[in-house]
Structure 1
Amino acid sequence: MRIVVSTLFLFSYFLWGDESEVAVLSRRDTLSEEIQTASDPYFEGYIQALVDIHYAEYCVVVIVKDHKVWLANMPNNKMIANSIVSFVLDVPGVEAVHVLNGVPPEDKELREKYVNRPRINGIWFPQMTELYLPMIADPRNVTYTLGWRSGDRVIGAKTIDISLGDDFPIYRWLDAFWGGDIQIGIEAGIWSVFNMDPNPNIAKGWGELVNTDFYAGVPISMALGPWSFRLRGYHISSHLGDEYMIDHPEVIRLNPSIEAIDFFTSYQATEAIRVYVGPGVVVHSDRTFPWKPFYIEYGTEARFLGSKFHKQRLYGTCFLALFWRNEQELHFNFDGTYRAGYEFSKLQGIGRKFRLYVGYHHGYSLEGQFQKERTHYFEFNMNYGF
């Protein structure tokens, strides 16, 4: 708990520091007067360069006349499109921003630029954005996490949890089916839990590695307007830690290992609220730890009180995330994870983010061969990922 409080204090000092200094500093202060009053061709090139740096995967075309900006070739993902508009509108000197969606402007000069804009079919290895955003309250989110659990009756009352994982996009098709973007990639990660107060402690270690889950998956995602979808095939296998086996020689190691397929649908109801749901099927499980096939997961996220920190060039917002799952193997009983915290990103709404949050889990353990045991615990986590 002391670590969490100290971390929050350091971030507060880093972001706000001397309030009088932050109050007078804005993004306009970072631009010269020449840029803010530049001619349209110069201003157009400047904004185009900014958009290309931060949103290179979408090949957005910037058109400027009288310091009014038209954006063509915009992505179909509503959240990403809104993020681009907000980014451009925040550039000092921009009078207005208009999005061109298939209808060229009446102005002859703008019409010629719009019609002759470049077109591409797809992008190799997109890195800046995701089509299907991760569900941040999902305790099996593939990301980088370091956290502290309190009160876990299965793993230990004092537990450290660590996850290492990422999504590696391979190819993204632009304007594919029904005008949506489609992406295929690879996911990989691990989740490990350490009991920091083991009893007995035969291994005489500082902590006890209880379990590690290994994950690999192939997600195919699609985004169209406020909707996004993800079809995923994946594998998870679990392994008890060496220290745990030494401290508990009577435990028989099982082999919880599954291959499964799920399909999720997400709807961005507003810029602040998102809901999602996804059924899944376990197509194979190890005979030492059989698992019934059907499950469903669903949840919602809300973001509010967003702020731009011009001094640090960051965007921050509060969030509240809720996640539930019901599994046939567990008699479709409710299992829920609830998280609230603050996230930082370089761009509004998209890109990789750093999160600080507190959470509560109530239902079943998620760790290996302990998955059928009931538990509940509080968590304090730091997280980095999409």
Structure 2
Amino acid sequence: MIGLNLAIHWSPVVAQELTEPAAIVTNADASVDESATPGVVSAEYHLALEQPSQWELLPDSLLYRSYLGNPRAPRLAARTLQHDGYDKVLELTAGARVGLLRYGRPGNDNPEGWQLDIEAAIFPRLNSEFEQDLDATDYRVGIPLTYREGPWQLKAGWYHLSAHVGEEFLFRNPDYIFREYFRDAVFLGVGFFPEPDSRVYAEAEYGFHHMGGSEPWHFQFGYDYSPVRPSRGFLPDPFFAINGTIMEEVDFSGGVNIVTGVQWRSDGPGRLFRIGLQYYNGNSLQYSFIEEHEEAFGFGVWYDF
């Protein structure tokens, strides 16, 4: 009887001790993606990948970030440029692009799915040769619909842009013939990440309502190199970007913009602060002067959301 009682009380304990570790090992093995890059794979990352798609109002991050080399993208920026037509100009950008609604995997790490954004920005040019007189200002507002899955991203939507000459410029140039340049356009862009820190992209837009010298077709393409890891304290990482544009109103000419320097990226939504150098050669960055050729070089500061 004693032996029987011992057997009855011992066997469930042994069974529990033997089965629980086996269940844990099985779950751990199932969570590992064999196709992932070799190395340590966090359970949190795979848990995020297994999250079902859901609706999210006002997401913190973007699925399709602005091109780093595009001087007309909505962000916060200031560039002091030595200009071939002036002693020096200050090109400013005051704007942002934020998410309104997302349907996809929740969270900010490796976000995927569909997202509706809104963007707005102004692009004033101040002339340092004439005590920071306002030469011109462009205004832009748009609604992009974006999508991302793996290394691919897509963007489509609408934007309105209008260009205005500054009163100080007209006072200095009374013979200048003013044209009210503006356009309403739809666009389609595609980006691809050959590796996480690099992106190549191309975008086409068609202006269905335009005047003041604007014509329907615009194109842009380029390359961004920007490490996606958060900055290690105050230590920066290098960045490089090049952007090319082609516009119908200047006989399918355009311009090339190159920026390079160092960056700091936040954790979480991945906000980006950059300082560095900019070189531009092509038709004017201000659409009021689109038919004029410009070459400029200088120092810039950029903050992207």
TM-score w.r.t. the length of structure 1 is 0.64
Alignment match, 1:146: 78
| C-alpha displacement of 1:151 | 2.1
Question: Which amino acid in 1 is paired with 2:54?
Answer: N
Q: 1:309 to 1:100 in 2, by over 3 A?
A: closer
Question: Which amino acid in 2 is paired with 1:298?
Answer: F
Counterpart pick for 2:153 among 212, 220, 228: 228
Matched, 1:379 2:304: no
| C-alpha displacement of 1:125 | 0.4
Alignment match, 1:259: 184
Identity of aligned residues (%): 21
| C-alpha displacement of 1:383 | 1.0
The structure carrying a bigger helix percent of its residues is 1
Alignment match, 2:119: 187
Structure 2 gaps of 5+ residues are: 1-23, 106-110
Structure 1 gaps of 5+ residues are: 1-64, 73-80, 83-88, 90-94, 104-113, 199-205
Question: Which amino acid in 2 is paired with 1:362?
Answer: N
Matched, 1:124 2:47: no
Matched, 1:217 2:149: no
Matched, 1:302 2:225: yes
TM alignment of 1:98-177, pairs within 5 A: 98=43, 99-100=45-46, 119=52, 121-127=54-60, 129-153=61-85, 156-174=86-104
For the residues of structure 1 that align with 2:30 and 2:290, how far apart are their CA atoms? 50
Contact 2:231/2:266 (<8 A) preserved: no
Secondary structure of residue in 2 paired with 1:309: coil
Matched, 1:275 2:195: no
Contact 2:79/2:92 (<8 A) preserved: yes
Counterpart pick for 1:340 among 260, 274, 278: 260
For the residues of structure 1 that align with 2:286 and 2:47, how far apart are their CA atoms? 47
Secondary structure of residue in 1 paired with 2:169: helix
Secondary structure of residue in 1 paired with 2:159: strand
For the residues of structure 2 that align with 1:101 and 1:356, how far apart are their CA atoms? 36
| C-alpha displacement of 1:385 | 1.3
- Structure having the higher Rg: 2
Secondary structure of residue in 1 paired with 2:266: strand
Which segments of structure 1 move beyond 2 Å, counting only runs of 4 or more? Answer: 68-72, 98-103, 303-310
Contact 1:305/1:318 (<8 A) preserved: no
Secondary structure of residue in 1 paired with 2:170: helix
Alignment match, 1:324: 244
Query: Deviation digits for residues 285-306 of structure 1, max 9, x if unmatched?
Result: 12xx132211211000123697
Alignment coverage as a number of residue pairs = 272
Question: Which amino acid in 1 is paired with 2:117?
Answer: G
Matched, 1:362 2:295: no
For the residues of structure 2 that align with 1:336 and 1:163, how far apart are their CA atoms? 18
| C-alpha displacement of 1:122 | 1.1
Contact 2:230/2:264 (<8 A) preserved: no
| C-alpha displacement of 1:352 | 1.1
The structure carrying a bigger strand percent of its residues is 2
Counterpart pick for 1:97 among 42, 51, 56: 42
